[in-house]
Amino acid sequence: MQFHHNGYVSADPRVQPAAGTGLDRLEQLPDEMDVLIVGAGPAGIITAAQLSAFPDVHTRIIDRRPGRLQIGQADGIQSRTVETFQAFGFAERITAEAYVITETAFWNPDPQDPGRIIRTDRTADDPTGVSEFPHLVVNQARVIDYFAEFAANSPARTAPDYGWELKELSVDQAGDYPVKAVLTGCGEDNAGIERVVRAKYAVGADGARSNVRRCIGAKLAGDKANHAWGVMDTLAVTDFPDVRTKCAIHSSAGSILLIPREGGQLFRLYVDLGEVPADDGGRIRQTPLEEIIRRAQAILKPYTLEVKDVAWHSVYEVGHRLADRFDDVPLEQAGTREPRVFIAGDACHTHSAKAGQGMNVSMQDGFNLAWKLGYVLSGRAPQSLLRTYSAERTVIARDLIDFDKQWSSMMAASPAELEGKEGVAEFYVRTAEFPAGFMTEYAPSELTAASAHQHLAAGFPIGKRFKSGQVMRLADANPRHLGHHHRADGRYRIYVFADEHPAGQSQKIADLSDWLLGSERSPIVRFTPAGADVDAVFDVKVVYQQDYAQMDINDAPKVFRPSVGKFGLTDYEKVYTTLGSPDIFDERQISRDGAIVIVRPDMYVANILPLDATDALASFFEPIMLQQHG
Amino acid sequence: MQFHHNGYVSADPRVQPAAGTGLDRLEQLPDEMDVLIVGAGPAGIITAAQLSAFPDVHTRIIDRRPGRLQIGQADGIQSRTVETFQAFGFAERITAEAYVITETAFWNPDPQDPGRIIRTDRTADDPTGVSEFPHLVVNQARVIDYFAEFAANSPARTAPDYGWELKELSVDQAGDYPVKAVLTGCGEDNAGIERVVRAKYAVGADGARSNVRRCIGAKLAGDKANHAWGVMDTLAVTDFPDVRTKCAIHSSAGSILLIPREGGQLFRLYVDLGEVPADDGGRIRQTPLEEIIRRAQAILKPYTLEVKDVAWHSVYEVGHRLADRFDDVPLEQAGTREPRVFIAGDACHTHSAKAGQGMNVSMQDGFNLAWKLGYVLSGRAPQSLLRTYSAERTVIARDLIDFDKQWSSMMAASPAELEGKEGVAEFYVRTAEFPAGFMTEYAPSELTAASAHQHLAAGFPIGKRFKSGQVMRLADANPRHLGHHHRADGRYRIYVFADEHPAGQSQKIADLSDWLLGSERSPIVRFTPAGADVDAVFDVKVVYQQDYAQMDINDAPKVFRPSVGKFGLTDYEKVYTTLGSPDIFDERQISRDGAIVIVRPDMYVANILPLDATDALASFFEPIMLQQHG
Ligand SMILES: Cc1cc2nc3c(=O)[nH]c(=O)nc-3n(C[C@H](O)[C@H](O)[C@H](O)COP(=O)(O)OP(=O)(O)OC[C@H]3O[C@@H](n4cnc5c(N)ncnc54)[C@H](O)[C@@H]3O)c2cc1C
Ligand SMILES: Cc1cc2nc3c(=O)[nH]c(=O)nc-3n(C[C@H](O)[C@H](O)[C@H](O)COP(=O)(O)OP(=O)(O)OC[C@H]3O[C@@H](n4cnc5c(N)ncnc54)[C@H](O)[C@@H]3O)c2cc1C
């Protein structure tokens, strides 16, 4: 955590100084704003949190709820999402209060006595060590709380405006604020009041029945039928021994997914209620709690389940549905005009709760979109950057739905149906990386280079998330996770892995530093706003191959020791060396001749280049950024 | 973190439900209270925080400051203290914002050119792995903030009453509130107002010039002269390469202790100003900042130091002083009457800042005292328990001062004076455990058994702090640090390390469980208040030697699976097994025949017993606790 560089701050360093629109933010929803986010669920709140790091962008986020979400909805947090929380500064805190999944147990009918269940398998949750972060279970409400805290503590001081429902939304392409939104008050003080507000851009993060989606005319395609689950957050006395372990339970009486919850007592049961016929007419949603409990008791036999309290229950009825586009540009006009309205999260895609994806993918949608909006609105990037949102995220959503269909049908299948096929446990292990959130791989585009130089750092696949590794921070001899310095501050990261020469003797590293600081073509020179710190847009770090004890920090070239802040103090947190073990060069298969690894603000690897490829480096950023001066 | 067991809570689980005196706590300082703490520095605030976990005890803490401490004073946090923070739930958060010391560098005059300094040594900060927690540097203000947050979130909802200065304090042994305190308002709203308040007990945590100490007539003994240091919290540009490393610097121009601070930029310099002559008359304290900077620049030659901003500076003038007793019972009356007033922290002992002890030892004073006050005031323990505070802590303070004298004279010695003797670096490494806070070892007393059964668990020395080790929590297959479950909740911990029999087949463990739950002599049966959970006073955990995957939680006897809370839910967090590696039995040299390890509420090992020593277990608690019923 870096602070005090503009002078001593006597307070929680997580509260950043207000700036820009955060200096005089109106309590009340104004008539005009840069971005209007509809919905303060996971997709909306992460969008607001990330945008709050852009002080010049005026963001408002409305929700028809009267206040914060209190209970219910999703609870599974993939380790990929915890990596994201790290960038927002709350990974440790939420982990400390969450349930940590380390294993999944599989229960099936006892072949000897099919009326009883027995444990047939037990698999590690992350057998391959795909992330250094754990897989968590914690209420969606707390996830939203933490993002809201981050937004409130960020320079723009963004906070939700509760009690406003979006009724209509339209775009006229003229004027400074082309998006027009009609809202109705539904809070305590504003009930029934109608407002028209205007924005430069709008984000529909308004859930599965998205009104924004309707207003922009996006089409939902997918299953005709829904699948229904009786969900209950339960406090109970039971002799089922795995009640604090994640379990997939198949019995002759039906199936249950059991998810232990935070706090040591609560657990969630998803009791399968089956496909919902098209003509059900909402009847399934009337399934009484008693019926869900009764089914759960039957499935768990011979174990007892004495339910003491149900904190929340619901019939979660959901189908596999996907919007044809995630913005307001009709497919036939794609590429001819820029989008003004976006949809994110459940507004774009819905699927079962089985693989624990909904909340996670929704947040990744928001994270992908928000920095792009921030760049365009603060004049860092051309408007065309915004096209990449729908292009990138529709593919991810489609993969997700395909995966979830397989997973759901596995989970729904009876033991007899699975006979002779791959078992649930095997499927689970084989595909573990997917539900953990690590299969996202953006195709080559102007944001993500083709893989010409992938071999220079094979362990950082271009288009996938930057997988952190441990290194030694030279200045204070602290072993650190390189990737954990990636904060959600909207900056690009440029990691320079040095060649074999020690610091002070590497001509390539010295030349690169000179070029980055001095060349007319350098992205730092071209795209950093006048008067801003040299690392305001590009955070450049170096990792040397030598032993830290043999290195003098003054031998690192200047781009890695920039003078920052109002006193021009040296930033000491950009110079690293390998640890003896693990050695990040070995772990991530980085060439001993060095490599440059470029990482997007949303943590995805954008490009890999040789140390001397300054032309390619310049060309890469040219189409996606705007010259700031000169 | 355990919560939700009395029903779902929709909020930050760190905020515990208010109870007892926390339900209707008065905003304004009342006329009567159970405990009056004078001073909200480290010693006072930890006392308040710990007492806040006793909902029936009405604690008030006053300070003459108008509000929270903002800046300055101590900053070194020993790893022992971070262990303590863990019990108060904020170790991770404060670590995330702190500077982590991993090494100390030693700089001395270059023998070739004594006008220049060179690095002569570099030592690891914790070469022996004495704790799993790091050694931190963070402002005292933030430490106080975190304890204040804990106190405010605890059942009693304790918060400081700022702007009250204690003028006089006296004790008359009669009446319910024998302590009388005269206060003068010095805040914004109460300036000049005089109040008399009465308390059952008072704690003087009012710093080196303690008024409480004066009022109870305790005598300070120690050096005649003080030693003075120019201290400055600095933002500067420098080419000194170790500016982000802790350094002891001796040059021909004097000596400096350099402490990097949190945030990546700030550092503290202690510039030695030497012994202060008895007739100095405060002149040393007039040393101007410019003079301190000038000296620092001379010492650091050939490196440059361009000071940009000084957040705080002070001439810290301190001697080695020790109060003859830490309570109001005159030495000649010791043992004949019970204390009513206590002093803690700098009020009892002062010493140099060199070994970074002041704040740390002060907090340990408060932690030692607070649970004892909580026990006596909530009727768990006889008043005589309070005698042990002065008895235990005066010894620790004396050791501290002895150590600090050695350390200070080493640091003050010129290179020539050290010629042929043990070097500073060697001394530093040899004695590292002391400043890290791990040498505290309480002598045998009614609280701390003699070491008759020490050999059953040699790695848990009786009288020293319980050194945590990793184990597997059976119910959720989560590897956990056993000791990290020790919260500052005022409970005794009883760790039962099982014999070689697997769960369900160990007769000794089954018998112990039966005895603990059923015997008239069992401390649980005798000392747990009627109607409270069975683990309200004694938190009993078991660690089996078997592989967790082979164990069924239902085989653990009932005392380790108690039914708790209003729904009688099972507590699943008391049953552990060894991890394959490390194996806690090997690491802590625990007998394969098992052992019982008793740990005090302030985390010190109180006793070690064989599994079947129920008589000894009963006898141990008899003198220190009060029967609750029957
Ligand atoms: C009742 C319910 C139960 C669920 N149960 C589960 C579950 O058991 N397991 C699981 O994995 N997932 C579950 N989900 C899905 C999971 O919560 C979502 O995948 C996740 O919340 C997606 O986040 P989001 O931000 O896209 O949408 P949401 O979390 O749905 O957030 C949308 C927000 O928009 C607001 N909003 C909607 N329309 C308007 C409007 N017109 N004007 C203003 N505000 C509006 C809503 O109040 C809401 O706060 C459930 C969802 C719901 C709604
Ligand atoms: C100015 C100063 C500078 C210091 N600098 C360093 C340093 O550089 N390095 C280092 O290691 N240590 C330093 N220390 C010492 C270190 O801060 C202490 O060891 C540590 O704070 C001890 O904690 P304590 O709670 O016992 O006392 P303190 O932190 O001194 O707290 C005492 C509290 O009591 C309050 N108080 C005092 N008298 C009254 C009264 N009559 N009525 C009401 N309230 C009262 C004070 O306002 C204060 O908040 C410094 C201390 C001071 C005062």
The verdict on the CB of residue A184 being under 6 Å from ligand 1 is no
For ligand 1, whether the C-beta of A362 sits within 6 Å is yes
What is the pLDDT, as a whole number, of residue A363?
97
What pLDDT band is residue B2 in, cutting at 50, 70 and 90?
confident
Strand order in the sheet with A113-124: A113-124, A103-110, A246-251, A254-260, A267-276, A226-238, A305-318
Written as six digits, the tokens of B586 are 């090997």
The whole-angstrom separation of Cα A596 and Cα A605 is 11
Which chain A residues are within 8 Å of B554, Cβ to Cβ?
Answer: 239, 241
Does residue A535 have a pLDDT over 90?
Answer: yes
Best probe of the B interface among A1, A3, A4, by most B CBs < 10 A, is A4
Question: Which residue's CA is minimally distant from atom 2 of ligand 1?
Answer: A73
pLDDT at B319: 86
Residues A498 and A487: their CA atoms lie apart, in Å, by: 23
Task: Give residue B71's identity as a one-letter amino acid code.
Answer: I
CATH code of the region A454-622: 3.40.30.20
Distance from CA of B579 to the nearest CA of A (A): 14
Taking an 8 Å cut-off on Cβ atoms, the answer to whether A572 and B2 are in contact is no
Which is the closest atom of ligand 2 to the Cα of B211? 41
- Closest residue by Cα to residue A595 from A442, A484, A451: A451
Task: Kindly provide the ipTM of the predicted complex, given to two decimals.
Answer: 0.94
Cβ <8 Å between B3 and A563: no
Q: Is A245 on the interface with B (CB under 8 A)?
A: yes
Of B233, B260, B476, which is closest to A8 when you measure between CB atoms?
B233
Q: What's the pLDDT score for residue A415?
A: 64
Flag whether residue A235 sits within 8 Å of chain B, measured between CB atoms.
Answer: yes
Most confident of A231-245, A390-404, A424-438, B70-84: A231-245
Alpha-carbon Rg for chain A, nearest whole angstrom, is: 26
**pLDDT score at B72:** 77
Please check the confidence at residue B428 and state whether its pLDDT lies above 80: no
Q: Given a cut of 60, is residue A600 above it in pLDDT? A: yes
| Alpha-carbon span B464 to B437, nearest angstrom | 10
Sign of the four-CA dihedral B468, B470, B472, B477: positive
pLDDT the model gives residue B226: 85
Identify whether the C-beta of residue A493 lies closer than 8 Å to the C-beta of residue A608: no
The number of the ligand nearest the C-alpha atom of B70 reads 2
Higher local confidence (pLDDT), B297 or B175: B297
Q: Which CATH class is domain A99-136+225-318?
A: alpha beta
Confidence of residue B5 (pLDDT cuts 50, 70, 90): confident
User: What tokens were used for B538?
Assistant: 């004694």
Other C-beta atoms closer than 10 Å to the C-beta of B90 total 22
| Average pLDDT for B612-625 | 97
Q: What is the largest CA-CA distance in chain A?
A: 81
**Residues near B298 by Cβ (< 8 Å), separated by ≥ 6?**
B251, B253, B254
| B337 touching chain A per CB within 8 A | no
| Dist. CA B207 → ligand 2 center (Å) | 5
B433 contacts B128 by C-beta, under 8 angstroms:
yes
Judged by CB atoms closer than 8 Å, whether chains meet at B4 and A553 is answered as no
pLDDT digits (tens, 9 = 90+) for A190-242: 999 999 999 999 999 999 999 999 999 999 998 877 889 999 999 999 999 99
Query: Which residue among A73, A135, A401 is best mutated to probe the pocket of ligand 1, counting the most ligand atoms within 8 A of its Cβ?
Result: A73
Please give the Cα distance from A524 to A25 (Å, whole number): 31
Residue B150 pLDDT greater than 70, yes or no: yes
Residues of A in contact with B97 (CB under 8 A): 1, 13-14
Please name the residues in contact with A327: beta carbons below 8 A apart, sequence gap of 6 or more: A216, A339, A340, A341, A342, A343, A386, A387, A389, A390
Cα B51–Cα A265–Cα B484 angle in degrees, nearest 5: 45
Nearest to B409 by CA among B424, B399, B426: B424
- How far is C-alpha B113 from the chain's CA centre? 45
pLDDT in tens, B363-416: 999 999 999 999 999 999 999 999 999 999 999 999 888 888 887 777 767 666
Least confident of A186-195, B220-229, B417-426, B614-623: B417-426
User: Cβ of A569 and B308 within 8 Å?
Assistant: yes
Q: Ligand 2 pocket check: which of B45, B206, B268 to mutate, most ligand atoms within 8 Å of Cβ?
A: B206
Interface of A with B in 153-192 (CB under 8 A): none
Regarding the beta carbon of B184 and ligand 2, being less than 6 Å apart is answered no
Q: Cα separation of B605 and B598, whole Å?
A: 6
The CA distance from B291 to B310, in Å, is 13
Q: Is the CB of B205 under 6 A from ligand 2?
A: yes
Per-domain boundaries in chain B: 20-73+139-222+322-330+338-399, 99-136+225-318, 454-622
Task: Say whether residue B404 is in contact with chain A using an 8 A CB cutoff.
Answer: no
CB atoms within 10 A of CB A420: 6
Residue B99 sits at the chain A interface (C-beta within 8 Å) = yes
Q: How far apart are CA B45 and CA B62, in angstroms?
A: 10
Q: Is the pLDDT of residue B284 over 60?
A: yes
* Residue in B9, B103, B237 nearest the CB of A568: B237
User: DSSP alpha helices (H): ranges in B71-139?
Assistant: 79-87, 91-97
Ligand nearest to the CA of B75: 2
- Please give, one letter per residue, the 3-state secondary structure of A228-255: EEEEEEEEEEECCCCCCCEEEEEECCEE
Residue A282 has a pLDDT of 85
Q: Are B367 and B46 in contact (CB under 8 A)?
A: yes
**Residue B351 near residue B269 (C-beta atoms within 8 A):** no
Distance of CA B538 from the midpoint of ligand 1 (Å): 43
Residue B54: is it exposed, middle or buried by C-beta count within 10 angstroms (0-12/13-18/19+)? buried
Both tokens of residue B494?
Answer: 């009883």
Question: A138: closest CA among A207, A208, A104, A90?
Answer: A90
The helix/strand/coil state of A86 is helix
Residue A322 sits at φ, ψ, to 5 deg, of -145, 130
d(CA A255, CA A273): 9
Q: Is the CB of B281 inside 8 Å of chain A's CB atoms?
A: no
Number of helices and strands (H, E) in chain A? 14, 29
Q: The tokens of A347 are what?
A: 């507004």
Is the distance from CB of A497 to CB of A590 less than 8 angstroms? yes
Is 90 exceeded by the pLDDT of residue B8?
no
Structure tokens at A137: 């279970």
d(CA B9, CA B17) in angstroms, rounded, equals 9
Are domains B99-136+225-318 and B454-622 of this chain identical in fold? no
- Tell me: pLDDT of B630 over 70: no
pTM for the model stands at 0.95
User: Which residues 532-561 on chain A approach chain B with CB closer than 8 angstroms?
Assistant: 549, 552-554
Residue A391 Cα, gap to closest chain B Cα (Å): 37
What average pLDDT does the segment A53-66 reach? 97
- What percent of chain A clears pLDDT 90, i.e. is strictly above it? 82
Expressed in angstroms and rounded, the spacing between residue B357 Cα and the centre of ligand 2 is: 13
Query: What distance in Å separates the CA atoms of residue A458 and residue A470, rounded to the nearest whole number?
Result: 17
Give the integer Cα–Cα distance in Å for B270 and B256: 5
Yes or no: say if A270 and A231 are a contact pair by the CB < 8 Å rule: yes
Which pLDDT belongs to residue A109?
Answer: 95
CA A327 from centroid of its chain's CA atoms: 19
Please report the pLDDT score of residue B429 as a whole number.
73
* B467-501 pLDDT tens trace: 999 999 999 999 999 999 999 999 999 999 999 99
Mean pLDDT (whole number) for B124-131 = 84
List, for residues A299-331, the tens digit of each pLDDT value.
999 999 999 999 999 999 888 899 999 999 999
Check whether the bond before A529 is cis (ω within 30° of 0). Answer: no
Ligand 1 close to Cβ of residue A407 (< 6 A): no
B-chain residues within 8 Å CB-CB of A96? 1, 92
CB contact under 8 A, A2 and B265: yes
pLDDT in the model for residue B51: 98
Burial class (CB in 10 A: 0-12, 13-18, 19+), A395: middle
Whether B65 is in the pocket of ligand 2, judged by its Cβ within 6 Å, is: yes
Q: Could you tell me the pLDDT band of residue A93, with boundaries at 50, 70 and 90?
A: very high
The mean pLDDT value for B599-619 works out to: 98
Distance A358 CA to ligand 1 centre (A): 9
Share of chain A above pLDDT 70, in %: 98
Nearest to B561, CA basis, from B533, B596, B598, B519: B533
Residue A630 scores a pLDDT above 70? no
**Closest of A571, A575, A605 to residue A590, by C-alpha:** A605
Position A96 pLDDT exceeds 90: yes
- pLDDT tens per residue across span B514-570: 999 999 999 999 999 999 999 999 999 999 999 999 999 999 999 999 999 999 999
The DSSP secondary structure of B252-263, one letter per residue, reads: TTEEEEEEE-TT
Q: Whose CA is nearest to atom 2 of ligand 2?
A: B73
| Distance from the alpha carbon of residue A106 to the mean position of ligand 1, in angstroms | 29
What CATH class is the domain B20-73+139-222+322-330+338-399?
alpha beta
